[in-house]
A and B are shown apart, each in its own frame.
Chain A
Amino acid sequence: MKKQACLACAVTLAWAGLSTGVAQTAPGGSAPAFSLAGLDGAVHSLTAYSGKWVVLEWTNYDCPFVRKHYDSGNMQALQKEYTGKGVVWLTVCSSAAGKQGHNSPRRWQELLSAAKSSPSGFLVDADGQLGRLYGAKATPHLFVIDPKGALVYRGAIDDKPSTDKGDIPRATNYVRKVLDAGLSGEAVTPFETAAYGCGVKY
């Protein structure tokens, strides 16, 4: 069963991977389909989440910008709040084997548990296919997909590019802004910002 899912996963990503680097979907367009097994073995497929808001959060636990949002509890609080409201939150790590931020699935279980991080799923994207499909550049890099499958936001987590936890309380959190509007039925105009963070270690 798992093998079959992975075959489907390989086919989906391989096809999607033919598009050139520059042609990643811009906000307003359809978010690229993907299908990837998570840490728990369950397959996370974007089409299966049709009808729900989906957040993709690129991470690297050794990056000081990620540590800003995790040591403060900011990211975990967002994950908990919005999964509680029916949002599908997927944390992704595209660090290649041997590069900073890469961990074995068992080690990721330990790290997530220690951080008390509870996304809907955690995707180990060591071959970088999902990262390249979405154009993930930095960690953290956030993507928000609406229930119709449109990419409505990609970019920074908030408007204070820094490694300083002290900036979090007075920052405008873009993910929160988009989800709060979307979940209350307001129209969300797709937009994007420059992500800040460490380069993804493909």
Chain B
Amino acid sequence: MGDPFRAGVHFRLPGGWHLYWSNPGEAGLAPRIEWQCEGVLRVSELLWPAPVRFAEGPIIGYGYADEVLLASVFEVPPGTTAPSLTLHARVTWLACADACVPGEADLSLTLPVEPLGTATPSSEAAWFERFARRLPVPASGWEFRGVRRAGSVDVWVTPPRAMGWPAGGASFFPLPQGWVSGEVTIVRRLEDWLARFSLSGPSGSLGDAEPIPGIWVLPKDGGSPDSPAAVLRVAVPTEAGTDRLHEPDATQTGPEQDGGTDAPAEPVPQTPNQTQ
């Protein structure tokens, strides 16, 4: 009471079926939850865990297989005296396997209202914790800058401290509707990382010169999609480029790259398990 709390809808899917992320990709439709609750001061937007990428032939989609929890944060006024609070959710979704099937449900949940500071986590708290690990956080301390070409983008990534590129690679999920990206490959690895990936989508959702909003997911070594190392929400500022990127003060290790200099390679801090 007075403390913000989370409530959400837990979806469970049979094998082979998926739901969609807020940007469903090239087809599909994101689920929607309309909350109706009396006595609630504020309801946040839905919190979207980092999705997975799937392909139906050449069509790329983003979403969730097996299960997902989509939650919002609720705030009630501090002076609330009611003993309980009932939340109603009107939920609509699209589930696809080979076929797509729309679904809808009206759900209700009644919660006890306890004196400030005494509320205990519900029996479902573990689900919230589990999916919370995949919620994006602002990428503070990180720097991103990109160069866009037709159909692809190079992004220079500077982590907040020297760290090896995660062995599991990285994924980028663009946020604008209908935009999709390809596998991220690392072209050079120094203290900065140069990540390159294809990127395409309708100009109506993202202009040529706009920063690219999206989610970077950096898996832990041996990690599963359930526990990525970092899930960062970014807007990558970009400039237009036509040629390969030249960085006059860059040093390099490994094979000669386009735009490389003749400077001798400097030693780069190596961490165990670091792979190309």
Contact = CB atoms under 8 A, between A and B. Distances in A.
Contact of A163 (B26, B58, B102, B176): B102
A198 interface: yes
A21 B59 CA distance: 11
Contact of B177 (A23, A162, A194): A194
A191 B205 CA distance: 11
A200 interface: yes
Contacts of B178: 193-195
The SS class assigned to the B binding surface is loop
Given A155-B202, A155-B204, A202 B58 contact: yes
Interface of B: 26-29, 56-59, 61, 92, 94, 96, 98-102, 150-152, 176-178, 198, 200-205
B4 to A, nearest CB: 30
7 contacts: A22-B150, A154-B202, A193-B178, A198-B99, A199-B26, A199-B96, A200-B59
Interface of A: 21-23, 26-27, 62-65, 99-100, 132, 137-138, 154-155, 161-163, 191-202
B203 A64 contact: no
Contact of A21 (B58, B92, B94, B176): B58
Contact of B205 (A22, A26, A138, A194): A194
B96 A192 contact: no
B29 A194 contact: no
B201 A64 contact: no
B94 A199 contact: no
Contacts of A162: 29, 92
Contacts of B204: 155, 191-194
Contacts of A64: 94, 100-102
Contacts of B152: 22
A6 to B, nearest CB: 24
Given A62-B99, A199-B28, A194 B57 contact: no
B99 A199 contact: no
A100 B27 CA distance: 15
Interface centre among A138, A195, A201 (most CB of B within 10 A): A138
Contacts of B203: 26-27, 191-192
Contact of B202 (A62, A65, A163, A193): A193
Interface centre among A137, A163, A202 (most CB of B within 10 A): A137
Given A155-B202, A198-B100, A163 B29 contact: yes
Contacts of A100: 98-99
Contact of B27 (A21, A26, A193, A198): A198
Given A161-B29, A193-B202, A194-B201, 4 more contacts: A64-B101, A154-B202, A194-B178, A199-B57
Contact of B59 (A155, A191, A199): A199
